[in-house]
Every structure is written in structure tokens, then in C-alpha cells.
A and B are shown apart, each in its own frame.
Chain A
Amino acid sequence: MAEIGRVRIRIPSSIKAGDIVKVRVLVIHPMEIVERKDGKPVDKNYRFINRVIVTYLGKEIVQFETTQSLSENPFFSFAFKATEPGPLKVTFLDTHGGKYEGTADIKFS
């Protein structure tokens, strides 16, 4: 559990300017699901990621509104057009106020 919030980003090894880049991101997170007791859902503050924000060159490119119906240690893939070299930053926000970030440097080769 100590690993909660570790973010891994995978980008293609070689990127050219103007390429469509497919990125895979993974975060270590329990994504708690609703517990039931005698058939009734238990009301508590479940811990799961409810927002993912991806920025490239400081500009938001995609944003996900997620729920508990994503699996534990969720992964996301998405695509964007690499126009300039620069940082790609992925931020995960969870319901307990946790904020987990990962960055990858987009470089052209």
C-alpha cells in the first residue's frame, strides 16, 4: 500500500515532430468499491480516483472523469499530436484529496 500513487508513463521510444503519439499511463491505486452489509451499501468516504488531467506544454489536452467501475491500479491510454518537445504531465486526483503526478519528456529524435 505504500506504493499508492506511483505513476508510470510509457511513451514510444522514438517520436518525430507531428507524430500521433499513443501514451499509456498506469497508477497504483486501490480504487475501493462500495461495500455492502446485509444488501445495503455502507456509507463512507470510498477512496478512488475521480479525475485525471493530462497536460502537454502546460495546456490541458485530455481530462477523464472516472468512477469506481475502473479496475484497481487503473491504466489509461490516449493519443495526442506531438507538435513541440516539452513535458507531458499526468495528474490523478482521488476522493481523499490525494494528488499523484507523473511527467514524461517528449523529445524528438
Chain B
Amino acid sequence: MSGMPTVVHVTRRRLLHGLGLLGLAGAVGPLLGAPRPAAAQGNLANLFPEEPVDATLRRLFGGRPIKDGSSVMKLELPLIAENGAVVPMSVEVTPPTQGYVKSIYIVSDRNRRPMNVKFNFSPDASLPFVGTNLRLNETGDVRAIAELSDGTLLMAKRQVKVTVGGCGG
């Protein structure tokens, strides 16, 4: 009888010790191994995939029809961009009579990652006008797609001739 508790005691201690080590290993492992997940947003896995433009449109909008919006959208781009690294672009959408313009997507057909930028607007305070500088890889269409608050999609596109690509090798 007197021997039994000792045996149990030892086993339990060993067990606890083992568990503790396991726990420690579990806690330290992620700290040392994988890079900090919160900060590493620029890794390839987190970028938009390299894909043809059709796949991008399908991924963004599913099968929803995209109407021609050239009458209400003013897309300004140079006809010829000598330097593809800096291509000034601006787009202005005439506000719809009902609802508002929720967002504007800029998609360039011939870039490796066609999805360029998405502008989100608020219902009342902002106006559907934006401008920025794009990087274009080679000559091709640039599309601006406006999504209205009721889900309608409108598109305007323009071809830009690029003399020197802006996306590096």
C-alpha cells in the first residue's frame, strides 16, 4: 500500500513535465518559425493573382452583366504613355438619379495582375470622382467599372499605347 502512491506521484509529475514541454514547444514554434502573419501582407499569396483579365472580371463580379457606361462615365487617360510607370488617370461618373456610386474599379487588361485599384465612396459626403497614377505593363485597354448602390455595373474603357512598360522585368 505504501509503495503505490509514490509510483502514481512520479508518473503524474513526469506526465505534467512532458505536457509542459509540449505546451512550451507549441507556444514558441509559431514565434520562431513562420513570419509574423499580421505584418506580412505583401507576400505573393496576399496579392491579387496573376491571371487573364476575363478571370479577374469573373472573380470580381461573378457573372453579372456589365453595361456600357461611356455616356455617364468620363475616363481620362493619355492616348500614348511614354513611361508606363506613371500613367495619369482620372475617372468621373455622373451620379445616378437614384442611389449612389458605391465603388469604382480600375482594371488594366495587359497587366500581369489586372486588378489595379478599387475606390469606395460613401453615400452622401463624397463625389464619384477620382484620379491617380497607374503603372501599365504594355499597350492595352484600361477599364473603369463603376458599381452603383443597386448593383448595376457600368464600364468605360480606353486603349493606352505604352512605349516603355512600367512593371519591371
CB within 8 Å of B: which residues of A? Answer: 20, 22, 24, 32-36, 41, 43-48, 50, 54, 56, 59-72, 74-81, 83, 95-97
The reply to whether A95 and B132 contact each other, CB–CB distance below 8 Å, is no
Residue from the list B39, B41, B48, B122 in contact with A61, Cβ < 8 A: B122
Range class of the B interface residue count:
35 or more
> 30 A-B contacts, Cβ less than 8 Å apart?
A24-B131, A33-B168, A34-B44, A34-B112, A41-B44, A41-B50, A43-B43, A43-B44, A45-B35, A45-B43, A46-B43, A48-B42, A56-B125, A61-B125, A62-B121, A62-B130, A63-B119, A67-B47, A68-B47, A68-B113, A69-B108, A69-B113, A69-B135, A69-B136, A71-B166, A72-B86, A76-B131, A77-B90, A77-B131, A77-B132
Q: Is B126 an interface residue (CB 8 A)?
A: yes
Q: From A39, which residue of chain B is reached at the shortest CB distance?
A: B169
The reply to whether B85 and A74 contact each other, CB–CB distance below 8 Å, is no
Residues of A within 8 A of B130 (CB): 62, 64, 76-78
CB within 8 Å of A: which residues of B? Answer: 35, 38-48, 50, 85-87, 90, 108, 111-113, 115-122, 125-127, 129-136, 166-169
The reply to whether B133 and A70 contact each other, CB–CB distance below 8 Å, is yes
The reply to whether A34 and B47 contact each other, CB–CB distance below 8 Å, is yes
Residues of A within 8 A of B111 (CB): 69
Residues of B within 8 A of A43 (CB): 43-45
